[in-house]
Structure 1
């Protein structure tokens, strides 16, 4: 009987120790995950703050360049002891990328008009040519109005 009680007590002690280790391990894993989340939030906040600072410096540089350009246009440059200096805006002209809506409309209209022209008039491609020209013109006009709305065309 003593042996059975000793074995049960030993198993109980070992089981109790094992459960605490698992709970401790889970608590440590949770603490590490929480600290990683906190670290990632801090890094994200730092990058947002850096981006805002960069934007403020860009905005102030643009304001200075604009003020210099306005002052230069009013006075025609500055004269100091026989030397003249004029300020220019050092920013490159903004390039428009991609197709305009007018070009897209003309291409789509030409294709649709040619297909419709072939279906309507099946003689020697005459319908395709006429339909393509009419479709391209119509597509261009529709696309041009879209460009005017977005400010791409003047």
Structure 2
């Protein structure tokens, strides 16, 4: 019986011996594949950032020409840029959302807690956003 146990133990140890080793070439190829995937992801992120920058800097150009009766033609160019949300507006929206959720979770009366929390959060968020806007200027 001892011989059977030793034989099974020897087979188990022998079969587990080479499982942890990986071929060096396979490891290199896995590393290269991983880097290629990351490069492709970064290309997608970069292209999205380029498109977002194009949309943010999109400008409207208006060209006005004088009537043909005059000898010289002048061109007036007006550039208008899209304005984003102010820091106060962003802060108010974020604060209202966070305050409403927090108020609903904490309060026993969920609706009333959400309303009070939303109003308080909007006020604090608007104040914080206004302070940040002032410090940026």
TM-score category by the smaller chain? 0.3 to 0.5
Larger-Rg structure: 1
Q: Which has the higher strand share?
A: 2
Structure 1 or 2: more helix by fraction: 1
